[in-house]
Structure 1
Amino acid sequence: MALWSSLVRQKFSRTAFVVLLVLLAVVIGRPYVNSPLFSATSPRPIAARSDLAQAERATIELFERVSPAVVQVVGAANVSSPQYAESEGGGQSGTGFVWDGAGHVVTNNHVVSGTREVAIRLATGEVVAASIVGTAPNYDLAVVKLQSTRNLPTPIAVGSSADLKVGQAAFAIGNPFGLDQSLTTGVISALKRRLPTNGGREIGNVIQTDAAVNPGNSGGPLLDSAGRLIGVTTAIISPSGSNAGIGFAVPVDTVNRVVPELIKNGRVPTPGIGIVAANEAVATRLGIEGVVVVRAVPGSPAAQAGLRGIEEIGELGDVIVTANGQPARRLSDLTDQLEAVGVGREIELSVKRKDGLTTVRVKIQDIGRSG
């Protein structure tokens, strides 16, 4: 019996040893076996997929419909002109889009400012010479006109910025870093931002978006989910100069008012009443909520209406607190209402004086026209 048990144990040990050797051989030899057996030496079959998601189809359709109207704007800078962040090869590069069937293209003022020549690269790759029709530094907008309008793409449909909501989808098409026809998506992050311009004023009701915007996107369209124009990309906030998720666009309601003026007259009236206002910091230090008048320009509508400032009376003078029935807490509030009423019309102002609150009507004039 003992001998039988010993033989069984020996047989089991030999079997186990053989199995272990086989397993070890499989592990060691697997790569050598797998390579010839399972290598894909011919094109793999294409796996079927379900339909694209509805959101994907909508985005694709939007891009295919709108992108032909988005162009690259390249300007050759004057020798004395500063180079911008978007400059390449001695020129300035940005984005624009076809505005109408006459070949007018809208872009940013800073894209063409200081240039001696402008060229437009269409989505087809064709390069067309263009001339500057008009610029509006106060709104960072400009219009150029193609010298040839053959095979002109359909202009982008125009929407409205008055009914935009934070959180709705936003789409930007442009030429970041010269990479043409680039689409980025995001949402409207905020509304009614204010953005200073090189013209020394502020653009009101600016749209903030997290759709990626980089150097080269300037002047490109910001679109809603229907593919309508809702803004013109103009600036970013970024420590590095590249996208940081904070981009800004001039609202389309402003664009739709300014661009026709540029096409007709080459410029946009700058509405004013002829006052010099104190810095907002001065009003803050004095604890005043309103526009502090430093002086009324002699012969101006403000002077004719009897407005007086610090320089005229040697002490705090008139403070404008409402304009057109709206609070005028700072100068930009006043300029917003001047633009809303328009050049050549009168605006009603509530003015705080020593003897109380008074109402005056002042005619709005174009303070930007020389002479």
Structure 2
Amino acid sequence: MDRSVRFLLIAILAVLGVMLAQPWLQRQFFSATEPRAIEPRGDLAEWERTTIAIFDRVSPSVVQVAGRAGGDAFAGAEPDEQNGSGGAQTGTGFVWDAAGHIVTNAHVVQGATEIAVRLANGDVARAELRGIAPNYDLAVLRVSTSRPLPPPIPVGSSGDLKVGQAAFAIGNPFGLDQSLTTGVISALKRRLPTSAGREISNVIQTDAAINPGNSGGPLLDSAGRLIGVNTAIFSPSGSNAGIGFAVPVDTVNRVVPGLISRGRVPTPGIGIVAAPESLATRLGIEGLVVVRTVPGSPADRAGLRGVDRMSGLVGDVIVSVNGTPVRRLVDLTDELEQAGVGNRLELEVLRGRSTVKVAVEVVDIGGRGP
């Protein structure tokens, strides 16, 4: 055989040998049998420092709330130990003031006969329901403990929020306490139905992950201020789908003081039963169709007319309140809440082919209707 050919074959065999031996050589000479050296990192990014600062400052004031319906007591158990067991319901709350008041959602504690609160440091304390407002899905608890509570969360404003600004949620999703999620404000002025049959207006929509157990927890801005109370998610599966809702803090700051001082808040109304928006749409009507008035109510005394049950003809249609157009129920309830109980409103009503103006007084209807 030619000498050059033999040399080439030897070279090829040598290369193949090295390739086959490479894994063994790597394990033999490059295995990290000692702890690896720690690589120093640079400074955290500005947004990371902001997020950490918000959590460190606010999370001690966020608590886990557990309620139990019926006569079974907690017997000193940790709230998360009751999660998912007979009759237990859990959620989140946060410190509102130095007097021991905790704000949470109404649906977290509604119907509960026993309520316990677990603080961020692990302490468990019993709590009593101080006031509840199902129309706003808000409730206030008072904690019975001799130890000082963490400081209240600073209150911001929801009136100047912008879509796209950062939002931070702290809560107890699925019983996993002290969980932080981040996102942005996805939309404003949403409407959210409540179990009481009314709608919360100006609701904040966020893509910060909100899951079962987050209800009642704070939604914060990048300054760590309270801008809303997380209340619901939109998800066919029951888990986060990127659409969460929060009661705006301007509503919270108006409702909570009344719950603390009186245990309830007035429900402003004029005493009408309104038709669904879908009916007005089918009839091609722009306004709020009055189905009937409550006997003895301001609307009844002012002469508002409902649907004629015999003929089925539409009666009065409210088209504006104090000059503000009314196209749906939430437009009317917004004006009622802004006016407040004891004040008067001027309604512009479409009656047949004519328009009339009617003055009505706003009263506390106690959740019976608009």
User: 1:325-364, aligned counterparts within 5 Å?
Assistant: 325-354=323-352, 356-364=354-362
- Per mean C-alpha deviation after superposition, the further-off stretch among 346-355 and 269-278 is 346-355
Letter in 1 for 2:43: D
CA distance in 1, matches of 2:230, 2:122: 22
Contact 2:307–2:314 (CA<8 Å) still a contact in 1? yes
* Aligned equivalents of 2:356, 2:27: Cα separation in 1: 92
- Structure 2 partner of 1:209: 206
Aligned mates of 2:246, 2:107 — CA distance in 1: 14
Q: 1:23 aligns with which of 15, 18, 25?
A: 15
Asked if 1:236 corresponds to 2:228, the answer is no
- Structure 1 residues 184 and 102 mapped into 2: Cα distance closer, same or farther (>3 Å)? same
Counting only pairs closer than 5 Å after superposition, residues 162-311 of structure 1 correspond to structure 2 as: 162-311=159-308
Q: Matched residue of 2:116: which SS?
A: strand
Matches of 1:79 and 1:263 in 2, distance apart? 26
C-alpha contact (below 8 Å) 2:71/2:113 kept by paired residues: no
Residue 44 of structure 1 is aligned with which of 36, 40, 62? Answer: 36
Residue by residue over 1:272-308, the C-alpha shift from the partner in whole angstroms, topping out at 9 and shown as x without a partner, is 1112222323322322211222222222111222222
Q: Secondary structure at the match of 1:260?
A: helix
Query: 2:85 aligned with 1:89, yes or no?
Result: yes
**Does residue 116 of structure 1 match 2:122?**
no
CA distance in 2, matches of 1:109, 1:149: 26
Q: Residues 145-181 of structure 1: CA distance to partner in whole angstroms, max 9, x if unpaired?
A: 1101513111111111111111111111111111111
Q: Distance in 2 between matches of 1:54 and 1:328?
A: 45
Distance 1:132 1:20 in 2: 84
Q: Which whole-Å CA distance do the structure 2 matches of 1:147 and 1:96 have between them?
A: 15
Q: Is the 8 A contact 1:193 1:205 kept in 2?
A: yes
**Preserved CA contact (<8 Å) 1:103 1:149:** no
Q: Does 1:71 align with 2:66?
A: no
CA RMSD of aligned residues (A): 2.0
Letter in 2 for 1:274: G
Partner residue of 2:52 out of 60, 64, 71: 60
Query: Percent of aligned positions with the same letter in both sequences?
Result: 66
Aligned position for 1:158 = 155
Please say if residues 190 and 209 of structure 1, whose CA atoms lie closer than 8 Å, have aligned partners that are also in contact: yes
- Structure with bigger gyration radius: 1
Q: The residue matched to 2:53 in structure 1 has which SS?
A: helix
Moved more, 293-302 or 251-260: 293-302
Q: Hey, what's the Cα distance between the residues in 2 that align with 1:29 and 1:352?
A: 92
Q: Displacement, 1:319?
A: 1.6
Q: Alignment length, in residue pairs? A: 357
Matched, 1:366 2:358: no
C-alpha distance in 2, partners of 1:341/1:178? 40
More divergent stretch after superposition (185-194 vs 294-303): 294-303
Q: For 1:167-222, what per-residue CA distance to the aligned partner results, in whole angstroms no more than 9, with x for missing partners?
A: 11111111111111111111111111111110001110111111111111111111
- TM (norm. structure 2) is 0.92
Which whole-Å CA distance do the structure 2 matches of 1:79 and 1:87 have between them?
A: 17
Q: List runs of 5+ in structure 1 lacking aligned partners.
A: 1-5, 81-85
Which letter does structure 1 place at the counterpart of 2:334? D
The match for 1:103 is 100
Whole-angstrom distance in 1 between the partners of 2:231 and 2:209: 12
Distance 1:355 1:25 in 2: 99
Which residue of the partner structure matches residue 145 of structure 1? 142
Q: Please say if residues 205 and 245 of structure 2, whose CA atoms lie closer than 8 Å, have aligned partners that are also in contact.
A: yes
* SS in structure 2 of the partner of residue 204 of structure 1: strand
Shift of 1:356: 2.0
Q: Which amino acid aligns with 1:331?
A: L
8 Å Cα contact 1:102/1:149 also seen in 2: no
The change in CA–CA distance for 1:153 and 1:270 in structure 2 (over 3 A counts) is same
Distance 2:367 2:334 in 1: 19
**Matching residue's letter, 2:348:** S
Matched residues in 2 for 1:73 and 1:292: separation? 41
Structure 1 position 16, deviation (Å)? 2.5
Mapped to 1, the partners of 2:322 and 2:71 lie a distance apart of 45
Report the more deviating stretch, 291-300 or 44-53.
291-300
Cα offset, 1:22, TM superposition:
2.3
Contact 1:72–1:95 (8 Å) recurs in 2: yes
How many Å separate the matches in 1 of 2:320 and 2:52? Answer: 47
Shift of 1:325: 2.1
Q: Deviations over 1:111-152 (max 9, x none)?
A: 111111111111111111111111111111111111015131
